[in-house]
Amino acid sequence: MKIFADTANIDEIKRINDLGLLDGVTTNPTIIAREGKDWETVEKEICAIVDGPVSAEVTADDTDGMVTQARELSKWADNIVVKIPMTEAGLKAVNILSKEGIKTNVTLVFSAAQGLLAAKAGATYVSPFLGRLDDIGASGLELVEKLRQIFDIYGYQTEIIAASIRHCQHVEQVALAGCDIATIPGHLIPKLWEHPLTDKGLATFKKDWAEFEQLQKK
């Protein structure tokens, strides 16, 4: 499963990228606003660091506005993917953009029907939001499982990005569900490799080794 960083924070992106584990980045208006920098500058900086798709989201509401903005965004870098919201206007825009060869990521997907329509419209990626569904008592994981089944039955090439990831269990669950990608908040990615028993075990090994070395010197 591919790992994307769901952040526009350059330090977080560099840290994961330096590990050789970063397959892409996703941003949205909230994530960009959090950094407080110029949007175009930040996206271009991310695109230069990451050797993989970087999602930048349109802010227009109507099809014409989305298409015009998407064409502009796609010129920012070769690896830009345009994020389009899951609306009627958005589906129309995805249809137009996919015919122009502009890659799209349909965002704010909360039902399997929405995901199916996005795939039919020619979306490169669909982003089901796990955490936000869990927040209202629904199951984000169940949505990923349904999308996986539907895309496999009909042979859609659209890749599923598990978004709105809140904890490590989400990552393990979507991996088991056969999800193509998990986009994970930058602060959460280190939690995937950290474990208290690893730290405890390492401390014990160090202590035992130091004692053994002392004994050898006697």
In terms of CB distance, is 82 or 163 closer to ligand E4P?
A: 163
Contact 85, 55 (CB under 8 A): no
Six-digit token string for 79: 């690896």
Shortest approach of ligand E4P to residue 61 CB, angstroms?
17
Question: Could you say whether residue 6 binds ligand E4P (CB under 6 A)?
Answer: yes
Options 26, 69, 74, 114; binder of ligand E4P; rule CB under 6 A: 26
Q: Which of 2, 31, 26, 5 has its CA nearest to residue 17?
A: 5
Given the rule CB under 6 A, which of 8-16, 69-77, 112-120, 124-132 is the region that contacts ligand E4P?
Answer: 124-132
Helix, strand, coil percent content, the chain, rounded in steps of 5: 55, 15, 30
Options 69, 74, 79, 164; binder of ligand E4P; rule CB under 6 A: 164
**By beta-carbon distance, which residue lies closest to ligand E4P?**
164
* Element containing residue 199 per DSSP (H, E): helix 196-217
Catalytic residues: 83
Options 79, 127, 158, 173; binder of ligand E4P; rule CB under 6 A: 127
**Whole-number Å distance between alpha carbons of 218 and 214:** 7
